[in-house]
């Protein structure tokens, strides 16, 4: 028996909106410690990693570890039927071939349940080594989304250069060139709006706009985004899900030869 309950459906809606374009389907690994999802995107370029800790749920019970393969577009369709303030309960029997999503309105006068067929998916367990990064940037997530969207109009790649003073995002193409510079903020009054940089050594790396733009679909999940970069190591774009876990995206930098 597996059962997990959250008093608001909005977190799940945001997670599904964030990953459903990158992943057609995915396996949710449920255990005593929580729900985990790890999958390469549909084109096998970037990696999506979701962790929801069991203690972040309002109710959580997992008698036996189980893996549920789900079609994310269908799951998103189901969650579109929930109001943001509905309580959501995810339920599955051990060895079941379906999962049930139950949505309860605050006043209990409306209860909806959706039973969805599960899928058998090939499991890909990917070891992600813990790394010390040369640069770790924290900045407002809407600002990062805006920069990626703006620059992707002018080129297919974005160069991210990080120094102690700030971060520069650059691109270029037929129309011309574009540079956006963000300075580290000094005032820490509004933590959500601050830009902070932890730097061991400067880094300049190039990434495909298309994937950065996909990652920023997670913007509604968190006010800040964290970018971790080192030479020859995938960029990590991380959104913290308050009190529940995190959603991370990994993307390898383009190497020089890619650009020619």
- Measure the CA–CA gap between 181 and 184, rounded to whole angstroms: 10
113 lies in the site for a copy of itself, by CB under 8 A: yes
Task: Provide, rounded to whole angstroms, the least separation between the CB of residue 117 and a copy of itself.
Answer: 5
Q: Which stretch binds a copy of itself (CB under 8 A): 78-86, 123-131, 208-216, 220-228?
A: 78-86
Helix (H, G, I), strand (E, B) or coil at 48: strand
Residue closer to a copy of itself (CB basis): 5 or 168: 168
How far CA 12 is from CA of 18, 207, 237, 248, in Å, comes to 10, 28, 19, 15
Task: Provide, rounded to whole angstroms, the least separation between the CB of residue 10 and a copy of itself.
Answer: 17
Candidates 111, 126, 128, 255: give the one binding a copy of itself (CB under 8 A): 111
Residues of span 196-255 touching a copy of itself by CB under 8 A: none
Residue closer to a copy of itself (CB basis): 31 or 185: 185
Q: Which stretch binds a copy of itself (CB under 8 A): 2-10, 61-69, 113-121, 213-221?
A: 113-121
Of the candidates 154, 152, 147, 153, the one whose C-alpha atom is nearest the C-alpha of residue 169 is 147
Interface with a copy of itself: number of residues (CB under 8 A): 32
Residues of span 41-60 touching a copy of itself by CB under 8 A: none
Residues of span 132-151 touching a copy of itself by CB under 8 A: 143, 150
Task: Provide, rounded to whole angstroms, the least separation between the CB of residue 184 and a copy of itself.
Answer: 9
Q: Name the one residue in this structure whose structure tokens are 């971790």.
A: 228
Sequence-ordered list of residues with C-beta below 8 angstroms from that of 194, at least 6 positions apart, any chain? 138, 139, 140, 185, 187, 188
191 in Cβ contact with 237 (< 8 Å): no
Residues of span 149-188 touching a copy of itself by CB under 8 A: 150, 153-154, 175-183, 185
Report CA torsion sign: 137, 143, 147, 149: positive
116 lies in the site for a copy of itself, by CB under 8 A: yes
- Measure the CA–CA gap between 195 and 31, rounded to whole angstroms: 36
DSSP-derived secondary structure letter, 96 = -
123 in Cβ contact with 35 (< 8 Å): no
Task: Provide, rounded to whole angstroms, the least separation between the CB of residue 166 and a copy of itself.
Answer: 9
In the complex, which residues of this chain contact a copy of itself (CB under 8 A)?
A: 71, 74, 77-78, 80-81, 98, 108-117, 143, 150, 153-154, 175-183, 185, 195
């Amino acid at each position: 028996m597996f059962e997990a309950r959250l008093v608001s459906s909005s977190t799940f809606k945001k997670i599904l909106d964030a990953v459903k374009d990158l992943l057609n389907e995915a396996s949710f690994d449920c255990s005593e410690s929580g729900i985990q999802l790890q999958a390469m995107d549909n084109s096998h370029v970037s990696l999506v990693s979701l962790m929801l800790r069991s203690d972040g749920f309002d109710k959580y019970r997992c008698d036996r570890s189980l893996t549920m393969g789900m079609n994310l577009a269908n799951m998103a369709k189901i969650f579109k039927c929930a109001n943001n303030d509905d309580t959501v309960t995810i339920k599955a029997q051990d060895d079941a071939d379906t999962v049930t999503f139950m949505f309860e309105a605050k006043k209990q006068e409306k209860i909806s349940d959706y039973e969805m067929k599960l899928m058998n998916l090939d499991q890909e367990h990917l070891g992600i080594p813990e790394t010390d990064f040369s640069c770790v940037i924290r900045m407002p997530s809407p600002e990062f989304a805006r920069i990626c969207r703006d620059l992707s109009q002018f080129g297919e790649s974005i160069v991210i250069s990080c120094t102690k003073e700030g971060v520069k995002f650059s691109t270029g193409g037929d129309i011309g060139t574009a540079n956006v510079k963000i300075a580290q903020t000094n005032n820490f009054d509004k933590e959500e709006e601050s830009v902070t940089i932890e730097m061991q050594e400067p880094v300049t790396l190039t990434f495909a706009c298309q994937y950065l733009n996909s990652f920023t679909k997670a913007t509604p999940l968190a006010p800040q985004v964290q970018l971790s970069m080192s030479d020859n190591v995938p960029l990590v774009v991380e959104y913290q899900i308050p009190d529940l876990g995190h959603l991370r995206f990994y993307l390898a930098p383009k190497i020089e030869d890619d650009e020619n």
